[in-house]
Amino acid sequence: MLIFAILALTIGAVNVINLMVNLQAKIALGTANGTLINYLEASVISFLLVLFTGEIKLTNLLYLKSIPTVYFLGGIFGLISMVLVLHGLAISRISYATVVVLIGQLGAGFLIDTFISGKIIPLKIIGISMVVIGVFLDKFLINSQREDSTSLGSP
């Protein structure tokens, strides 16, 4: 169980750092160029990883043709996701954008699971509801308390 907690923290930290870097790239280069540079870097790193592991199959045209088309959708959905997240980051704080992405992933995962399995799992609804309630409490109640306490100190 500890390994999952460490893995979750590591992934969370990497995602937040990734969002911060991508936001700065968007601000400095624009959405399209910031996204492009991100994907170019990822492509180079992926190529080097494949090169050093010795599993270079993608240079073979016949192998490329044998890959099901649906596998190429990952890049398209990843690009759409990144552009949407970058637009969201421009209008909100990184912590909120991260939570919104999490809620979106949980909600979409729930809908897809429900559609595929044909059954609704109450524990999933409870879990997603708890996350949404937590975000609501943080955004509206705790922040309004902070604003009230700072306005009390000002003349």
Ranges of each domain in the chain: 1-91, 94-155
d(CA 84, CA 76): 12
pLDDT surpassing 70 at residue 126: yes
Q: What confidence tier does 150 reach under pLDDT thresholds 50, 70, 90?
A: low
For position 149, what pLDDT does the model report? Answer: 59
Q: At what angle do helices 31-53 and 73-91 cross, to 10 degrees?
A: 140
CA nearest neighbour of 39 among 79, 81, 90: 79
Residue 93: phi and psi, rounded to 5, are -75, 160
> pLDDT tens digits, residue range 35-71?
888 888 888 888 888 888 877 777 677 887 888 889 8
Mean of pLDDT values over 90-100: 73
Report the predicted TM-score, pTM, of the whole model to 2 decimal places: 0.59
CB of 18 within 8 A of CB of 89? no
Share the mean pLDDT of the chain. Answer: 80
